A and B are shown apart, each in its own frame.
Chain A
């Protein structure tokens, strides 16, 4: 009897966390889901319209074009971040994992950008990349490369890539740390065993190091995927709510922001915005689940 009592008591301790979880996670998700099925008139909820908002989002101009244009940029974001952030970070982690003087110093330096606020980073780089007085163009001019100067953030050809590289610069320190922890967790006995088998250099890297750091690679890839599909702050800080110039840096989260908060009167956009949020939710959680399954098979244990 007493045992059962205490067994149930223990659930009570979960209650505070549960309240927060329901209040700040389940409720917003559920209400977004609900709102996406209604028509909206200003801020007033109208009729229940089933999937009309979703259908409009995917078939009606300009929402359709905006959605796929933004989605494409999210995909580019992710694809470019893999070499620009993850591969660079992994290489640096390998270097730091070896015998290197001043390791701790480099670790700190790599991590420093992450300590800044994203908005500050966005503002700083807006200044650096400013077409008329920015440091980058000025420096290029000074070394005779004036033909390379361009309005980095003001031209559709370079704006998105510029932002992705700034994002990599901002985020790569965190990836270095995660990779480093992964590398340090590989037991030295495995290396010793491999060396007895005369494995060297690249063989060690591809047969031992990389397969055994798969857990950290998986985490970082999935976190990068999520951050690529949720990228908002940098684009917002540097290109405004329209993802300028001419939608060349528009991303889904920004499109969502515009639908939800962009038109001053609210308009019919709350239903559309909620529908987009729901689509984003399924897109990210679906892709995350699939890629976790994929990585799971790549994991090895020696």
Chain B
């Protein structure tokens, strides 16, 4: 019975591989706080100790930024030649897993790019990060941005270094050729879409295979339907919830726009949508400001411009969807706390903000940084007094599965006629109810 033995071995091996996957991740974190960070978390930043020779490893989810960071690190080394910083990027979709494992084992990472808001809070609450309240330069960053890197204890655990704006990019020449002007209200937007569609142009290069693109589009298109910042504060304080008719209306818009999305958009990936936009097959493309860098890299043969969300009534100022996309934090397990904090001070400085904004074509949250790119300049200006959060990302990205994911998957369900907009809203609310406690 050779077969049988072989079989038993094979099946055991297969079984073990299922169970083994969870073996690596289940040690409870017992690494003691390093000497330099006090129990309360507030770090003392002394200059002398912060310049001792050290090699710091910096985790990032943006491999495409490697060249930019090489230049930024060079800038840092002009003042701090003793501190060597290694930029170590991972694929964005794998970043969280790799980072969590590194933090869990307490090795390999000194400085890390911190995902914003709820994710940052979860890592901070797990005692993986060094609190940095009082770090030089933090006072130059508006409080609302620091919220992206706060733990539940209210301490700040990271220096926000990049903002993102979700906007509607459009092909400027195509709009001009067809005699279209930038829509101010949702009704005008629908008219623009209809005009484009009648000319055989796909109005919006939307893709839906990756759910986050749906919730991002929802944030841009829906913000004036649910009422921007007012609705956000009502939800956060428990005055209303997502079953609110205004929120359902914003989801209804997503359904109504199906007519202006590409055929089978739900099967398309972001790169397919970009291809439509780049090849003049589609007139608009909704995404974050981080795509400006992609546009430059693709050397488009038309002018890209953007408009924000819509105004409720013509003549009013529309909101722009703004959120912190990442912060820099120090791993509590790092042996080089002082040097890592020296680097964070550099990140919080205006010179980093300026260089970052120019080299990587992104908006910096540091007050007074003026981007070189004219589109970014406009975004940075709007951020000052028109910004509204990408609510579902900034405040409803918790739970298992996260409420954000539930919302995105429910939207997909809506496009397959499995759910109505009301049901999408109630699925989302059900997920939110499991963990969310309104601030009274």
Say yes or no for B297: interface residue by CB 8 A criterion. Answer: no
CA distance A88 to B23 in the complex (A): 38
Q: Say yes or no: B26 contacts A270, CB within 8 Å.
A: yes
- Kindly state the interface size class of chain B when it binds its partner: 35 or more
- Distance (Å) between the CB of A31 and the closest chain B CB? 5
Contact between B21 and A277, CB atoms less than 8 A apart:
yes
A25 to chain B minimum Cβ distance, whole angstroms, is 4
Contact A43 B28 (CB under 8 A): yes
- CB of A284 within 8 A of CB of B16, answer no
CB <8 Å contact, B264 and A223: no
B440 at the interface (CB under 8 A from A): no
Q: Which residues of A contact B18 (CB under 8 A)?
A: 230, 253, 256, 277, 280-281, 284
- A61 in the interface, Cβ–Cβ < 8 Å? yes
**Residues 1-18 of B at the A interface (beta carbon under 8 Å):** 3-4, 6-7, 10-12, 14-18
Q: Answer yes or no: A74 CB below 8 A from chain B CBs.
A: no
CB distance from B363 to the nearest CB of A (A): 23
Chain A interface size range: 35 or more
Interface residues of B in 113-131 (CB under 8 A from A): 115, 118-119, 121-123, 125-128
Question: Which has the most chain B C-beta neighbours within 10 Å: A44, A154, A244?
Answer: A154
Nearest opposing residue in chain B for A250, CB measure: B409
In the bound complex, CA of A155 to CA of B398 (Å): 28
- Chain A residues with CB under 8 A of B11: 222, 226, 284-285, 288
Q: Of B10, B15, B399, which is within 8 A of A223 by CB?
A: B10
Q: Which of B21-42 contact A (CB under 8 A)?
A: 21-26, 28-29
How distant is the Cα of A226 from the Cα of B10 in the complex, in angstroms? 10
When distances are taken between beta carbons in the complex, the residues of chain A under 8 Å from B29 are 43-44
- Measured in the bound complex, the distance between the Cα atoms of B15 and A156 in whole Å is 29
Which residues of B are found within 8 Å of A44, using beta-carbon distances?
Answer: 28-29, 126-127
Asked if A262 CB lies within 8 Å of chain B CBs, one says: yes
With an 8 A cutoff between CB atoms, is B384 at the interface? no
Is A32 a contact of B23 with CB atoms below 8 Å? yes
Of A218, A261, A265, which is within 8 A of B122 by CB? A265
Q: Is A246 an interface residue (CB 8 A)?
A: yes
Chain B residues touching A, majority SS: helix
Query: Which of A227, A272, A277, A281 neighbours the largest number of chain B CB atoms within 10 Å of its CB?
Result: A277
CB distance from B185 to the nearest CB of A (A): 31
- Cβ-defined contact, A42 with B122, below 8 A: yes
Contact in complex: B264, A263 (CB < 8 Å): no
Contact of A215 among B3, B14, B103, B418 (CB under 8 A): B3
In contact, A245 and B267 (Cβ under 8 angstroms): yes
B266 touches A247 (CB 8 A): no
Q: Which listed residue, A25, A258, A266, touches B401 by the CB 8 Å rule?
A: A258
Whether the pair A62, B406 counts as a contact (CB closer than 8 A) is: yes
Within 8 A of B (CB), among A14-32: 24-25, 27-29, 31-32
Residues of B within 8 A of A152 (CB): 267
Say whether B23 contacts A132, CB under 8 Å.
no
B262: Cβ under 8 A from any A Cβ: yes
By beta carbon, the residue of chain A nearest B125 is: A42
Cα of A74 to Cα of B430 in the assembled complex, Å: 27
Any B CB within 8 A of the CB of A168 = no
Quick one: which of A229-249 are within 8 Å of B by CB?
230, 240, 242, 244-247
Q: In the complex where A28-B22, A28-B23 touch, is A267 in contact with B418 (Cβ < 8 A)? A: no
A32 touches B401 (CB 8 A): no
For B401, what are the chain A residues with a Cβ–Cβ distance below 8 Å? 62, 258, 262-263
- Asked if B412 is at the interface (CB within 8 A of a chain A CB), the reply is yes
Of the residues A43, A130, A222, contact of B104 by C-beta under 8 Å: A43
- Within A154-178, the residues touching B (CB, 8 Å) are 154-156
Q: Are B211 and A27 touching (Cβ within 8 A)?
A: no
Q: Give the shortest distance, in Å, between B364 (CB) and chain A (any CB).
A: 24
Question: Residues of A contacting B429 with CB < 8 Å?
Answer: none
| Distance in angstroms between the alpha carbons of A245 and B418 in the assembled complex | 12
Q: Which of A42, A153, A227 contacts B126 (CB 8 A)?
A: A42
- Please give, as numbers and ranges, the residues of chain A lying within 8 Å of B28 by CB-CB distance: 43-45
Task: Tell me the minimal C-beta distance from B4 to chain A in angstroms.
Answer: 8
Q: Tell me the smallest distance from the CB of A126 to a CB of chain B, in Å.
A: 8
Inside 8 A of A45's CB, which chain B residues have their CB? 26, 28
CA distance A258 to B93 in the complex (A): 12
Q: A92 interface residue, CB < 8 Å from B?
A: no
Q: Closest CB-CB distance, B28 to chain A, in whole Å?
A: 4
A151 within 8 A of B: yes
Name the residue on B nearest A255 (C-beta).
Answer: B401
On chain B, the residues within 8 Å of A25 by CB distance are 12, 16, 20
**5 A-B residue contacts at CB 8 Å?**
A24-B16, A25-B20, A31-B22, A215-B3, A281-B15
